[in-house]
C-alpha cells in the first residue's frame, strides 16, 4: 500500500526550539534550586509540558501541589514564548522546504502532529502555516505522545486512513505514538536510534522520497 500523507512532528523536525526549551526550564529550575542539565533536558523531548515538569521536579526534595505545578508550568511557558519571538524562517531545518515542495508536487497531503500548544505561533513565526493541509496540536488533544491521539487526529483531519500515513519524528515518544497509530515511522536525529523506526535518517536532506512513498515495508 502506498503512503498518501505525511505527518510531521514540529519541534526537531520542522524547526528546532530545543535551546529555547532548555533555557526556559533552566531558569525555572534555578529559581526553584533544582538540579537541571542538558542530559535531563533530553528526557523531555517529545513529552508534554506537565510531564516534563514532573521529570524536573523528581530531582527536588520539595513536594509541589497541583496548583504550584500549574504556576511553574505557566512561568516556564511565558519564558519560552518570549524566546520564541526570535524565531524566523531562517530557523527552518535543512531539507524541510525541499521536501514540502516535492510532496506538494506529488499531491501528497501533509500535516503537523505536535503535542505543543505553541504550534500555531511557531508556524506563524517561521512562515509555514499555510503549507500544511491540517494541524493537530496540543490545543486539540488530551493525551500526549507516546499516546497516538495527535497522529490519529491529524489523519482524521486529512481524511486519510492511518495505514496510509507516515510520520516523521525526532523523539522515541513520537516513534512509539506513530507505531501505536498503525502508521509508518521515520526517525530523524536522535530518533534514528529508535529500534522500532521504519526508516532512520540523520536529517531530512537524506530522505529518499520514493522509498518513503512507494514502499510498503520500509528498510532502515
For residue 86, what are the contacts with CB-CB under 8 A and spacing of at least 6?
20
Catalytic residues: 9, 11
Grid coordinates given for 99: 521536501
**What is the maximal distance between C-alpha atoms in the chain?**
55
Cell of 191: 530518533
Q: Count other Cβ atoms within 10 Å, centred on residue 28.
A: 20
- 169 strand-pairing partners: 187
Plot region of 166 (φ>0 → left; ψ -120 to 50 → alpha; else → beta): beta
Task: Answer positive or negative: Cα dihedral of 110, 94, 220, 213.
Answer: positive
Amino acid at each position: 500500500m502506498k503512503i498518501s500523507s505525511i505527518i510531521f512532528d514540529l519541534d526537531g523536525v520542522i524547526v528546532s526550539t530545543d535551546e529555547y526549551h532548555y533555557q526556559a526550564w533552566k531558569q525555572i529550575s534555578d529559581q526553584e534550586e533544582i538540579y537541571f542539565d542538558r542530559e535531563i533536558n533530553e528526557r523531555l523531548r517529545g513529552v508534554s509540558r506537565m510531564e516534563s515538569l514532573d521529570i524536573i521536579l523528581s530531582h527536588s526534595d520539595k513536594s509541589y501541589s497541583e496548583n504550584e505545578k500549574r504556576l511553574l508550568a505557566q512561568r516556564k511557558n511565558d519564558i519560552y514564548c518570549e524566546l520564541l519571538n526570535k524565531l524566523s524562517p531562517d530557523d527552518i531545518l535543512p531539507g524541510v522546504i525541499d521536501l514540502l515542495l516535492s510532496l506538494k508536487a506529488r499531491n501528497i497531503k501533509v500535516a503537523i502532529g505536535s503535542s505543543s500548544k505553541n504550534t500555531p505561533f511557531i508556524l506563524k513565526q517561521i512562515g509555514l502555516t499555510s503549507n500544511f493541509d491540517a494541524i493537530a496540536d496540543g490545543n486539540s488533544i488530551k493525551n500526549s505522545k507516546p499516546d497516538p491521539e495527535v497522529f490519529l487526529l491529524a489523519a482524521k483531519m486529512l481524511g486519510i486512513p492511518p495505514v496510509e500515513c507516515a510520520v516523521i519524528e525526532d523523539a522515541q515518544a513520537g516513534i512509539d505514538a506513530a507505531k501505536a497509530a498503525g502508521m509508518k515511522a521515520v526517525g530523524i536525529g536522535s530518533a534514528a536510534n529508535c529500534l522500532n523506526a521504519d526508516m532512520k535518517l540523520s536529517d531530512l536532506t537524506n530522505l529518499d522520497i520514493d522509498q518513503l512513498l512507494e514502499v510498503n515495508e520500509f528498510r532502515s
